[in-house]
A and B are shown apart, each in its own frame.
Chain A
Amino acid sequence: MKCPHCSSPLSPSQASCTQCGFSASAIRAYLGADWVRLERLTDVAGRLNLRETRHLEVVLDEFERRFPQCFMAAYIGVLPDTLTLPDLGFWLINHGAFQTHQISRRNDFAIVMLMDPLREEAAFIVGYALERILTEPVLVKILSKLSRKLKGGSIAAGIEEGCALIDQALRRSARQEPRLRESAPSMVGDASDLGLQSLRPAPRPITRPHVTPRAH
């Protein structure tokens, strides 16, 4: 395990990085502690046109249909010098309410792709549930495959290919099941009809309650 800010090794019990002092509270002090609403495609740098955005929305929808637990988001922006791409990724997954196909997906199955066109850097940050599948070597390999397109300025093509490569990597560890039928709406109306948008439900506890074995 490495620190997202300085890449120094970390132990699971550490609350902050001993080298640079990075922690959740530190990044919250910098970016805020509130939840933020985010689209799956956040293009602050203005590198995507409308057609590319529409196409990537379809690509991400398909990804979410194939992997009902996961979702993928992309952020394109120019970051200040004091902030690294993994810093922002860390904060986005922990504080972002992503407007996914199904809003109830958990953020620990999130994959966030970040790109800074000025620094010419790209990063993948994943939640806890995907750490063992999308390990750092796997993600580095995927990023190296995307580098040619990103060098050419094809941001949209890079995101699409990155989604396909992530898809391929996830299938190696997944089991195939028939697609569930679309369940009927649980309620008659929808909050969106009233012009309201619901936020993601409160984060569940990370660890499941341990079941103590019965004493015989």
Chain B
Amino acid sequence: MSLHARIDPAKAVIAAFFAMVCCAMAQSIDEELPLPRWEREAPRVDASDPGNAFNSLLPGETLVPALPEEPGMLRFGPRLNDTPTSLSPQIGPTDLSLFLHGSLLQQAKPAQAPRVPTPVMALRDLPADLTKALTESPANTYLIDPQSLLPEVARGDLERLLDFHAGDARIRFYLLVLDADQKLPDTIDPALIAFGALTRYPSCLAIYPSGEPWRARVLLSPSVHDTASHETLLEMAADCIRDAQQADDADEQLHRYAVRLSTRLFWLQKSMPEKPVAHVGVSPSLREITSADAAPKTALLLPLWSKLLLGCSATLLILWLSMRHLVMRRTQPTTTGQVWMLPEVEAQPRLGGAFSAGAGAVLSYKR
């Protein structure tokens, strides 16, 4: 059976006519249907009702603005990334942080100017009423923020971090947060903080001025301090400060500092003996990691006779060096602009020599 025998010519004509009609209708629809158009002008916002542009984000509101009655005219477009010039300065895209978690809009925060370090003379002691609160802080509260300087989210993050650290590490990590221009008074013994828990267990206390990580102090209990060399501890403290300074935001700096110090304490405990060494006869005080520790303290405790001996030795050495220098200047050929003139003497010629009579000396150096 051939192919032409199976196709009905009448049906083929009808199908072709139907296809032509459909194409013509589709063309007319494309020409007639209006497309949505965007206004080039900025939306007008009622200044008396700021924030009304974001009401749609509130619960219960529709996410899509209502279409205008006139078809084809969409009056509001997605303009979140544009800052309308007509908006009041109090309103901007960052207002979304009022409704969303801050971390979602972290990138939208304006860049902060570099912080100017607080001068040493401008530092003030922690208020006296708060110092008592430090000593009465519970031993299992590792984040000590008596002035509630930290925002709630950052506080929660740090508390979880320090709790996790305390549960998994042998060195307890206490973090005391002060204000940027505050310091711990010299009258307070850090060992008394948290009912003296820092001296009873291997502990680390970091005193952190918010926004100024370079002034952070690290104190260790004696058993931890003796674990590593002074250079290692100094490097650890410097590393934490360096890592904190990678961030600009004060809370982010504190977060990075705490994470870094927690990590370094984990490293440090690897070199700790399983059973901590008992420090018999040693006062249970914390030891701070400072560069001043590098100076040999025994040099200051020398007896008087040793100091006198050292002084005399130094004086003799200086005298000997001075004399040697003078002698060397005298004996060594000088290359300065000085010449030496010998006296002219009259001599009677001898043996018929015009310039010399053979005066001199002879020496045999035979072995």
Contact = CB atoms under 8 A, between A and B. Distances in A.
Do A and B interact with each other, yes or no? yes
Interface of A: 1-5, 10, 12, 14-17, 22-25, 62-63, 65-70, 84-87, 89-90, 93-94, 106-110, 119-134, 136, 139-140, 143-144, 146-147, 150-151, 164, 167-168, 170-171, 173-180, 203, 206-208
Given A14-B351, A15-B351, A206-B347, A125 B342 contact: no
Contacts of B332: 164
B350 interface: yes
B342 to A, nearest CB: 5
Most buried by A among B333, B345, B346: B333
A6 to B, nearest CB: 11
B95 to A, nearest CB: 85
B338 A178 contact: yes
B356 A144 contact: no
A149 B349 CA distance: 35
Contacts of B335: 62
B34 interface: no
A60 B332 CA distance: 14
Nearest 7 CB-CB pairs, A to B? A4-B358, A24-B352, A90-B358, A139-B361, A128-B347, A174-B340, A143-B363
Contacts of B364: 119-121
B109 interface: no
Given A125-B359, A133-B342, A178 B353 contact: no
A94 B353 contact: yes
B354 A120 contact: no
Given A86-B358, A93-B356, A131-B359, A171 B351 contact: no
Contacts of B355: 93-94, 106-108, 110, 127-128, 203, 206
B362 A123 contact: yes
A174 B330 CA distance: 13
A55 to B, nearest CB: 14
Contact of A12 (B330, B334, B350, B367): B350
30 contacts: A1-B350, A1-B357, A4-B359, A10-B351, A16-B351, A65-B339, A66-B339, A69-B341, A70-B342, A86-B360, A86-B362, A108-B347, A109-B342, A120-B364, A121-B363, A123-B363, A125-B358, A126-B356, A128-B356, A131-B347, A132-B345, A134-B360, A150-B365, A151-B367, A164-B333, A174-B342, A176-B338, A177-B339, A179-B338, A206-B354
B363 A122 contact: yes
Contacts of A208: 346
B350 A108 contact: no
Interface of B: 330-335, 337-367
Nearest to B349: A206
A147 B366 CA distance: 9
Nearest to A139: B361
Contacts of B366: 120
A142 B81 CA distance: 96
A140 B361 contact: yes
A127 B356 contact: yes
A123 B360 contact: yes
A123 B359 CA distance: 10
Given A170-B340, A207-B346, A107 B351 contact: no
A1 B340 CA distance: 27
A10 B331 CA distance: 34
Contacts of A121: 362-365
Contact of A178 (B337, B346, B349, B363): B337
Contacts of B352: 15-16, 23-25
Contacts of A128: 345, 347, 349, 355-357, 359
A67 B340 contact: yes
A74 B70 CA distance: 120
Nearest to A22: B351
Contacts of A124: 360-361
Given A63-B333, A128-B349, A90 B357 contact: yes
B273 to A, nearest CB: 62
B342 A110 contact: no
Contacts of B338: 66, 176-179
A162 B24 CA distance: 123
